[in-house]
């Protein structure tokens, strides 16, 4: 269990993390989502005791990380896959970590096997691709067989096969009862992986809920209706409490209706003798829900042409 309470961190004028509170439970994969610069890494560093909070507390298993001896047995973390010394081999890197944490050497072979690096274990890490470095970082996090795992953008740089593998690993680790907390700036990486989502923007909490609840935000869907009598139908729909906008080019006879389900719209048209040519319900994708929720907190928005 990870608990974050009123966590705040400022860098000069900039508030990177702003009174953030949430809980990450065992037995689940929790996705930590936010646009770049939202404060995810800063939060993870505070959870791990690598950064001192300005105020608030972060605990793992009820205890602040710094007070724990043998850290790797309590929390496994991958923060920056690039931080491993490039001149070392993967196996030498993991041996050093194991020794420093009182972990048997045999465990190094196990985790190398787990992440699919057994054959490359003797090669210098400097020659590794980013995806291989990510695998090595995950191996290091698993070394102490910890109940809590924290990964910052773990699938960044992995090929589709690697992403698929990592997804399966995270799910399995959670099914073993571990607390698994993964950050990403991409909603697509969390789909089919995370049970719960913690979404932040500009250091503030935007949502902390199950993936199902998050998806339900997109279920406030709209219905597209195509009819030759769009003005008549629009008036009827508005009178029934729906909100109506023209869909596509003006005068095309298509309406985008929200606030009424498709069957009610169809019935209303039928009762009033209005022919309907098309009736389609559109649910927002998780990506669209994420973009809408975080739209106000994107630091560097792509420039618009007009």
Residues at the site binding ligand ADP, with contacts judged by CB under 6 A: 11, 14, 16, 34, 36-42
Beta carbon of residue 80, minimum distance to ligand ADP (angstroms, whole number):
11
The separation between the first and the last C-alpha atoms of the chain, rounded to the nearest angstrom, is: 48
Nearer to ligand ADP among residue 39 and residue 137 (C-beta): 39
Q: Which is nearer to ligand ADP, 16 or 197 (CB)?
A: 16
Nearest to 288 by CA among 225, 221, 223, 242: 221
Question: In this complex, which beta carbon is closest to ligand ADP, that of residue 52 or of residue 305?
Answer: 52
Task: State in angstroms the smallest separation of the CB of 7 from ligand ADP.
Answer: 12
Distance from chain centroid for Cα 48: 19
Least Å from the CB of residue 190 to ligand ADP: 14
Report whether 154 contacts 3 (CB < 8 A): no
Closest CB 134 distance from ligand ADP, rounded Å: 16
What are φ and ψ of residue 63, in 5° steps? -125, 140
Q: In what order do the strands lie in the sheet with 75-78?
A: 75-78, 148-152, 179-184, 28-33, 196-201, 204-210
Least distance to ligand ADP, CB of residue 29, Å: 19
Taking each helix axis from N to C terminus, what angle separates 106-114 and 130-142, rounded to the nearest 10 degrees? 130
Contacts of 52 (CB under 8 A, 6+ apart): 46
- Considering beta carbons, is residue 34 or 154 the nearer one to ligand ADP? 34
Measured between alpha carbons, how far is 181 from 82 in angstroms, rounded to an integer?
A: 20
Closer residue to ligand ADP, CB minimum distance, 77 or 117 = 77
Least separation, in Å, of the C-beta of 195 and ligand ADP? 21
Is the Cβ of residue 38 or residue 265 nearer to ligand ADP in the bound state? Answer: 38
Question: CB of residue 293 vs ligand ADP: minimum separation in angstroms?
Answer: 15
Task: Collect contacts of 119-125 with beta carbons under 8 A, ≥24 apart.
Answer: 120/90, 121/89, 121/90, 121/91, 122/89, 122/90, 122/91, 123/89, 123/90, 124/86, 124/87, 124/88, 124/89, 125/84, 125/85, 125/86, 125/87, 125/88, 125/89, 125/90, 125/93
Shorter beta-carbon distance to ligand ADP: residue 11 or 270: 11
């Amino acid at each position: 269990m990870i608990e974050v309470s009123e966590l705040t961190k400022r860098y000069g004028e900039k508030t990177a993390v702003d009174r953030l509170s949430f809980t990450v439970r065992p037995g689940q994969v929790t996705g930590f989502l936010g646009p770049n610069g939202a404060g995810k890494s800063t939060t993870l560093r505070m959870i791990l005791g690598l950064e001192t909070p300005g105020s608030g507390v972060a605990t793992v298993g009820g205890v602040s990380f710094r007070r724990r001896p043998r850290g790797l047995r309590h929390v496994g973390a991958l923060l920056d896959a690039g931080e491993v010394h490039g001149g070392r081999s993967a196996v030498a890197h993991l041996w050093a970590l194991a020794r420093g944490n009182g972990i048997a050497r045999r465990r190094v072979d196990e985790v190398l096997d787990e992440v699919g690096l057994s054959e490359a274990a003797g090669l210098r890490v400097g020659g590794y691709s980013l995806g291989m470095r990510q695998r090595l970082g995950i191996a290091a996090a698993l070394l102490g067989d910890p109940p809590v795992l924290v990964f910052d953008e773990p699938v960044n740089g992995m090929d589709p096969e690697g992403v698929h593998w990592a997804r399966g690993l995270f799910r399995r680790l959670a099914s073993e009862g571990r607390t698994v907390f993964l950050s990403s700036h991409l909603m697509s990486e969390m789909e089919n992986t995370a049970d719960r989502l913690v979404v932040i923007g500009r250091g503030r909490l935007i949502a902390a809920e199950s993936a199902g609840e998050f998806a339900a935000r997109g279920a406030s869907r709209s219905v597209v209706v195509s009819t030759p009598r769009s003005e008549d139908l629009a008036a009827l729909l508005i009178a029934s409490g729906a909100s109506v906008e023209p869909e596509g080019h003006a005068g095309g006879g298509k309406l985008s209706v929200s606030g009424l389900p498709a069957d009610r719209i169809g019935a209303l048209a039928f009762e009033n003798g209005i022919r309907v040519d098309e009736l389609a319900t559109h649910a927002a994708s998780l990506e669209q829900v994420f973009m809408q929720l975080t739209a106000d907190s994107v630091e560097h928005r792509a420039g618009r042409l007009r």
